[in-house]
Amino acid sequence: MNTRKFAFRIKESDYQTLKSKAKRGKVTMTSLIVSAITGKEIVVIDALKNFLSELKAIGRNLNQLTTLANMGKVNTVYLTETKQELNRLYEILATVTEVKSNGDG
C-alpha cells in the first residue's frame, strides 16, 4: 500500500480535540481523520472493559472446572449461578449494541 505524506493547518483547539478523540478511540490521529473522510465509523464503548473482564473470569472458572472434571476430581457441578451471570452479561451486551444501532451511543 502506497502512502503519501500530507500536511495541513488547524486551530490548536481542533488539534487538541482530534488528539483527544484519537486517544479515546485508541487509534492514531491519521486513522481517525481517514475514517472521518471515508465515512467509516469508530465506536468506543467504555463499558466493555469490565464486561470482558467478567466474561474472561467466567471462562477461566469453566476451564478450571473442566480440567478438574477430566482429572476425576469433580463429579457434579452446579452452574445455575454461572448461567445467571452469563445471562446478565449477555443482556448488558444486547443493551449496548441496541443503543449503538439506534444511534444513541
Q: pLDDT tens across 38-73, in order?
A: 988 777 776 677 888 889 999 999 999 999 999 999
Residues 54 and 90 in one domain: yes
pTM over 0.95: no
- CA neighbor of 58 nearest in space, from 78, 89, 82: 82
Residues 40 and 53 in one domain: no
- Position 105 scores a pLDDT of 46
DSSP state of 73: S
Is 3 domain-assigned?
no
Residues 53 and 68 in one domain: yes
Residues 55 and 83 in one domain: yes
Residues 52 and 86 in one domain: yes
**CA 41 to mean position of chain CA atoms:** 14
What residues make up the domain containing 55?
48-101
**CA 21 to mean position of chain CA atoms:** 16
Specify the DSSP element, H or E, that contains 21: helix 12-25
- Position 57 scores a pLDDT of 93
Q: Check pLDDT > 60 for residue 104.
A: no
Q: pLDDT tens across 79-99, in order?
A: 999 999 999 888 888 887 776
- Count up the domains in the chain and report the number: 2
